[in-house]
Amino acid sequence: MKANKLLSVLIVLLLAGFGGSAWAHGRVGIGFQFGPYWGPGPWYYPPPYYYRPEVVVVPAAPPPVYIEQQQESAPEATTQQYWHYCASAKGYYPYVKECPGGWQKVLPQPAK
């Protein structure tokens, strides 16, 4: 009887040394039956199947789009059209071609 126990312990230690990859999964149990069948018991599980991690790709948000709107403004004094008046000839350009005293800028006025 002592020889059977000693043999069992030696076999368990021997199998524990060979099962390095099986121990890495942590799902192995080794048992022995004393009787007509000697070998691994029914507690052996195959290594689990590992699924690849699911890759989730999130597209980057498109950059913001800015639309510049032009504001309408009243015409300024620098962009207004002027009539040119000659005081010495008492007339307006283009009716008077030359003005010896110099031209005066006059804002246009509608006819009355």
Quick one: average pLDDT of 28-55?
Answer: 68
| pTM across the whole model | 0.29
User: How far is C-alpha 96 from the chain's CA centre?
Assistant: 71
The pLDDT of residue 31: 60
pLDDT at residue number 19: 55
SS3 content of the chain, % helix, strand, coil (to 5): 25, 10, 65
| Structural domain boundaries enclosing 93 | 80-106
Residue 103 confidence (pLDDT):
92
Check pLDDT > 70 for residue 18: no
Residue 63 forms part of a structural domain: no
In sequence order, what are the residues at sequence separation of 6 or more whose Cβ sits closer than 8 angstroms to the Cβ of residue 15? 30, 40
The three-class DSSP label of residue 4 is: helix
The total of structural domains in the chain comes to 2
Q: What's the distance, CA 87 to chain centroid?
A: 72
